[in-house]
Amino acid sequence: MTKHDSDDERHRLRVNLIAAAFIAVMLAGAWYVFDGFTKNEALQKCISLGRHDCAPLDLSSTGQPPKAK
């Protein structure tokens, strides 16, 4: 194996690792978008059925539930 072959092999390995990382990032992004679409669709279905408990409420900022009018 010559120095030139070794350099080509290292370059090929580096390019393959970069390509694999890029594909992994693209797959993670696609999963994130798909998960968001799925959750949004479930929320829209729940609301369209007229339910009132479709999404959890975060009351930790005030510490108390809202007062009834």
Top-confidence range, 2-6, 16-20, 52-56 = 16-20
Q: Is 11 a member of any domain? A: no
- The DSSP code for 49 is T
- Residue 68: how many other CB atoms lie within 10 Å: 4
Q: Is 65 a member of any domain? A: no
Looking at residue 1, its pLDDT comes to 57
Q: Is 47 a member of any domain? A: yes
Asked whether the CA dihedral 11, 13, 17, 22 is positive or negative, the reply is positive
Structural domain of residue 47, as residue ranges?
26-51
Q: Over the chain, what is the mean pLDDT?
A: 87
33, burial (CB in 10 Å: exposed 0-12, middle 13-18, buried 19+): exposed
How much is the pTM?
A: 0.62
pLDDT one-digit tens code per residue, 8-40? 999 999 999 999 999 999 999 999 999 999 999
The count of domains in the chain is: 1
54, burial (CB in 10 Å: exposed 0-12, middle 13-18, buried 19+): middle
Q: CB–CB of 54/43 below 8 Å?
A: yes
Looking at residue 65, its pLDDT comes to 61
